[in-house]
Amino acid sequence: MGPSQARRTVAVSEYDPQALQAKWQQRWEEQEPYRASDDDADPRGRRYMLDMFPYPSGDLHMGHGEVFAIGDVVARYWMQQGYNVLHPIGWDSFGLPAENAAIKRNAHPAEWTYANIETQAHSFRRYGIAFDWSRRLHTSDPDYYRWNQWLFIRFFERGLAYRKGGLVNWCPNDQTVLANEQVVAGKCERCGADVVRRELTQWYFKITDYAQRLLDDMEQLHGWPERLLTMQRNWIGRSEGADVLFEIEGRDEPVTVYTTRPDTLYGATFFVVAADAALADEIVTDEQRPAFETYRAEVARLSDIERLSTDKEKTGVFLGRYAINPVNGERIPVWAADYVLSDYGHGAIMAVPAHDQRDLDFARKFDLPVRVVVHTGLADPGETGEATPGEGTLVNSGPLDGLSKAEAIRAIIEHLEREGRGRGTVNYRLRDWLLSRQRYWGTPIPIIHCPDCGEVPVPDEQLPVTLPDLRGEALAPKGVSPLASATEWVNVECPKCSGPAKRDTDTMDTFVDSSWYFLRYCSPGYTDGPFDVEQVRKWGPIDQYVGGIEHAVLHLLYSRFFTKVLHDMGMVDFTEPFARMLNQGQVINGGKAMSKSLGNGVDLGQQIDEYGVDAVRLTMVFAGPPEDDIDWADVSPAASQKFLARALRVMSEVTSEPGVPFESGDVALRKVTHHTIDEVTKLVDSYRFNVAVARMMELTSAARKAIDAGPGPADPAVREAAETLAILLSLVAPYTAEEGWERLGRTGPVAFAGWPAADPALLVQESVTCVVQVAGKVRDRLEVPPGIAEDELRELALSSEKIAPYLQGMPRKVIVRAPKLVNIVP
């Protein structure tokens, strides 16, 4: 259809998003234009853009609408720039909600899961995201989870997957264990129930072996938001200090404590063992045992978070024993308390109440002595109740007296090492990753327990170990894995000795699935391993990852860990999986998170029905910087739709022929077009997508004006503006852009039209002279662009060297009349 014909048939009232969607969606489905090419002969540079893959809980929601609209801006921008872009989609489809739904409906979790996946896939296609659909994966497919099992066995062989007994977080509601990362403020991340501690044998990944590398390699992550890096750093929690050996009277072996303040050793006035540590149970005297056991039972009900909380009233019991301070031979009482954790450091501490607030609270509660050993200049903690952890000079510390804190730390470590009573060490708060779960809908752990051979991995050629067919009631949480009830499945021959043996009945944490899925996309359907090493070498690492800040710790840390292990296995040639990271905000409504109970939910599908895909997508992107929350009550998809109608009308009204040379066009409009190109390029590069949309709106207005009151629709500059608009708009409103491009008489998808280049000759701006006055007197003249923003002009004037002598401190008032005058009242 030629442009002039189009003009006759389309009026603004005819902007019909549903019709556009039906037309173009069908073409995209036929042509699959967004497929990435694995062809080595393809000369284009490669880029990998990834959105965190969705969990299939019902249809797509507003949050998906936002994150995928943002990710698509980046993917489509790179496509326009001529890159061979990998932008895949898949589903994180194992997990508890499917299982809970299956119990309720007496169904199989797969039914719910795959039905939801189909619903979401359908919605994604309508939403027009530029995915390469050919690489689609579902983590609950046996040909995906097979490779979880394969990787698990490789980790096991390397000593990175192991089983141990110990106290673990237990959700009494979901009846399963949780990783530390899944306990939020003492509650189960999924259901909100209070988490308790239980003694259980579980599988762990040895992520602690990688603690230092997880820290060090953060240096590569220039493209990550600072707050993400901080969260990762805090979670790893590196501290430097010393291990110090204390004798306990009546015990042969000395006990080690970890301290970050060995300089305060002379101020240790008591000793505390974690109430749930084996040591406490071992050394408690008969006399104190009843009190201790009652106390220990109370502590078992608390989460780590509660235990460490500084507001919590201190509790504890005396164990009836004494420890000997290795530097001065002093006898100090040994207590059991909850604020010392059994699995951090060595589960026991030397308490220095003068300089540690928790110790001080404890000392005041139980009337234990407080001795200042670092003089900080602050009032006596024993009297104020405020510990003084800061810098100072050592006192009451024998040979350390007079030293600074840092000097004393060095001196005491040297002394302890010489005496064989301690050493300098580094500690990490990071714990090993507890990965076994007592639930059904996950990857079976590929281990066979043999009474003779112990833990035997399932041979590779027998993978996958598929889930036995259980449904409904059989999945109800019982405290042991539902898989245990599938006797036929459980009882097998030992692969080593052929004797009777049993399968492990736990399944893997679903975070295992998501720790490497981004590698699978590089060679979907690969059958010789989890991924084709050659393809990953070509596509990886991911150039841009987009997803929620809620995954700042868990998913990103685990993925980084997996990548490092795979690097050590020689399977990937990079050590960090995600070069750049963008965290989008949330979509909220009326200042609050959307929720059923508040009744403030907004349905994505309904918004699309009402305003069309492009208007919804544009609204998401235009609402603000991508990191900010979007309050749906404050935005207007109706206004977005109006803008798109206006833009399409401009593209429809051009009467010059495609290919007309732009050079002869109206210069003023050409300048606007090229400025827009220049700015939008920079804005997209720096994630300021909302401002980029504002520039597109301005270009639309300028073209409108040129058609109505300027050189008219036949001027080549109008075509240039309209074609530019179609290309820029293709990043946010693909249907409207594609339709406009066709109406402009252009063939081939606008998505690959090529990003326009700004002509430097058209970027040169005339300047105007701005007068800067201080107290009414002209003190400077600045040459500024005519369109300069007020803020920018204010900055410029205030930073003028000629003004400086007339100002003392901040001026009282600055009046800006851009672009010609700045008046400063000192």
Footprint on this chain of ligand ANZ (rule: CB under 6 A) = 239, 258-261, 264, 274, 340-341, 344-345, 347, 349-350, 352, 355-356, 389, 427
Q: Which of the choices Zn ion, ligand ANZ, none does residue 345 contact, using the CB cut-off of 5 to 8 A by kind?
A: ligand ANZ
Crossing angle of helices 604-611/109-127, nearest 10°? 30
Residue from 528, 527, 513 nearest 443 by CA: 513
For the chain, helix, strand, coil in percent to 5 are: 40, 20, 35
Q: Which of the choices Zn ion, ligand ANZ, none does residue 494 contact, using the CB cut-off of 5 to 8 A by kind?
A: Zn ion
CB of 367 to ligand ANZ, least distance (A): 20
CB of 166 to ligand ANZ, least distance (A): 14
Q: How many CA atoms lie within 13 A of 548 on its CB side?
A: 13
Q: Which of the choices ligand ANZ, Zn ion, none does residue 427 contact, using the CB cut-off of 5 to 8 A by kind?
A: ligand ANZ
User: Is 596 annotated for ligand binding?
Assistant: yes
CB of 185 or CB of 497, closer to Zn ion = 497
CB burial of residue 57 (10 Å; 0-12, 13-18, 19+): middle
CB of 496 to Zn ion, least distance (A): 4
Q: Sheet of 447-450: strands edge to edge?
A: 454-457, 447-450, 500-503, 491-493
CB of 345 or CB of 665, closer to ligand ANZ = 345
Distance CA 734, CA 728 (A): 10
CB of 415 to ligand ANZ, least distance (A): 16
Both structure tokens of 104: 């309720």
Distance CA 216, CA 237 (A): 13
Residue 562: what residue type?
Answer: F
Q: Which of the choices Zn ion, ligand ANZ, none does residue 372 contact, using the CB cut-off of 5 to 8 A by kind?
A: none
* Cβ partners under 8 Å of residue 192, min gap 6: none
CB of 356 or CB of 715, closer to ligand ANZ = 356
CB of 436 to Zn ion, least distance (A): 21
CB of 91 or CB of 258, closer to ligand ANZ = 258
State yes or no: cis peptide before 464, omega within 30 of 0.
yes
CB of 396 or CB of 600, closer to ligand ANZ = 396
CB of 462 to Zn ion, least distance (A): 15
CB atoms within 10 A of CB 429: 15
- Do 165 and 198 contact (CB within 8 A), yes or no? no
Distance CA 536, CA 539 (A): 5
CB of 504 to Zn ion, least distance (A): 14
CB of 343 to ligand ANZ, least distance (A): 7
Q: Which of the choices ligand ANZ, Zn ion, none does residue 264 contact, using the CB cut-off of 5 to 8 A by kind?
A: ligand ANZ
CB of 476 or CB of 497, closer to Zn ion = 497
CB of 810 to ligand ANZ, least distance (A): 41
Residue 85, strand partner residues: 47
Q: Sheet of 777-784: strands edge to edge?
A: 777-784, 768-774, 821-825, 813-817
CB of 160 to ligand ANZ, least distance (A): 24
Q: Which of the choices ligand ANZ, Zn ion, none does residue 258 contact, using the CB cut-off of 5 to 8 A by kind?
A: ligand ANZ
Q: Which of the choices ligand ANZ, Zn ion, none does residue 450 contact, using the CB cut-off of 5 to 8 A by kind?
A: Zn ion
Residue 500: what residue type?
Answer: P
CB of 406 to ligand ANZ, least distance (A): 14
**Three-state DSSP class for residue 588:** strand
Residue from 780, 788, 792, 784 nearest 766 by CA: 784
Q: Which of the choices Zn ion, ligand ANZ, none does residue 452 contact, using the CB cut-off of 5 to 8 A by kind?
A: Zn ion
CB of 392 or CB of 756, closer to ligand ANZ = 392
* Cβ partners under 8 Å of residue 651, min gap 6: 722, 725, 726, 739, 740, 741, 743, 744
CB of 226 or CB of 461, closer to Zn ion = 461
- Do 319 and 280 contact (CB within 8 A), yes or no? yes
Q: Which of the choices ligand ANZ, Zn ion, none does residue 453 contact, using the CB cut-off of 5 to 8 A by kind?
A: Zn ion
CB of 197 or CB of 261, closer to ligand ANZ = 261
Could you give phi then psi for residue 684, rounded to 5 degrees? -65, -40
CB of 380 or CB of 452, closer to Zn ion = 452
Both structure tokens of 198: 């239980």
Q: Which of the choices Zn ion, ligand ANZ, none does residue 349 contact, using the CB cut-off of 5 to 8 A by kind?
A: ligand ANZ
* Cβ partners under 8 Å of residue 74, min gap 6: 49, 544, 546, 582, 684
Q: Which of the choices Zn ion, ligand ANZ, none does residue 350 contact, using the CB cut-off of 5 to 8 A by kind?
A: ligand ANZ
CA angle 422, 427, 429 (to 5 degrees): 145
CB of 142 or CB of 500, closer to Zn ion = 500
Q: Which residues of the chain form contacts with Zn ion (CB under 5 A)?
A: 450, 452-453, 494, 496-497, 499
Distance CA 552, CA 463 (A): 32
Annotated binding-site members for ATP? 596
Annotated binding-site members? 596
